[in-house]
């Protein structure tokens, strides 16, 4: 298993406390979220729009996005993309984000 990185998730109570969880790539297109103290959760429970906020180092840049609905994939004036360009976010991490985002999006569109 490859650890993609530590990410945090708001707990179900909606409080601002975060729980450190680790995102693993189990195999191609299969992910596992390891959440201490909580049951393992399926990554597809994460709404695609919330994914960027789960990457800790993306967070501070999200507020620089021009649009609230920014997908951070191709928008102009995207805080995340600008941070990737200027080297504040590693390309590798960003590529992981894009890959997972596309998977989540695909699942959402094919859910019904």
| Residues within the interface to Zn ion (CB under 5 A) | 65, 70, 72, 78, 80
* Residue showing tokens 């991490």: 93
Task: For residue 74, give the nearest of 102, 42, 33, 38 by alpha carbon.
Answer: 102
Closest distance of CB 70 from Zn ion, Å? 3
Residue closer to Zn ion (CB basis): 4 or 51: 51
Q: Reading across the β-sheet that carries 30-34, which strands appear in turn?
A: 2-10, 18-27, 30-34
Write down the least CB distance from residue 80 to Zn ion, Å: 5
Which of 41, 98 has the CB closer to Zn ion? 98
Q: Least Å distance between CB 87 and Zn ion? A: 17
Residue with Cβ nearer Zn ion (32 or 46): 46
3 versus 73: smaller Cβ distance to Zn ion: 73
State the nearest-atom distance from the C-beta of 24 to Zn ion, in Å.
25
């Amino acid at each position: 298993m490859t650890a993609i990185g530590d990410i945090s998730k708001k707990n179900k109570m909606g409080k601002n406390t975060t729980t450190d969880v680790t995102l693993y790539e189990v195999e191609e297109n299969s992910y596992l979220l390891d959440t201490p103290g909580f049951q393992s959760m399926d990554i597809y429970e994460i709404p695609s729009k919330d994914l960027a906020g789960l990457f800790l180092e993306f967070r501070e840049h999200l507020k620089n996005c021009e649009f609230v609905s920014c997908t951070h994939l191709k928008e102009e004036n995207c805080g995340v993309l600008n941070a990737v360009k200027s080297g504040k976010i590693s390309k590798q991490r960003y590529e992981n984000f894009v890959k997972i985002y596309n998977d989540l999006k695909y699942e959402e569109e094919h859910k019904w």
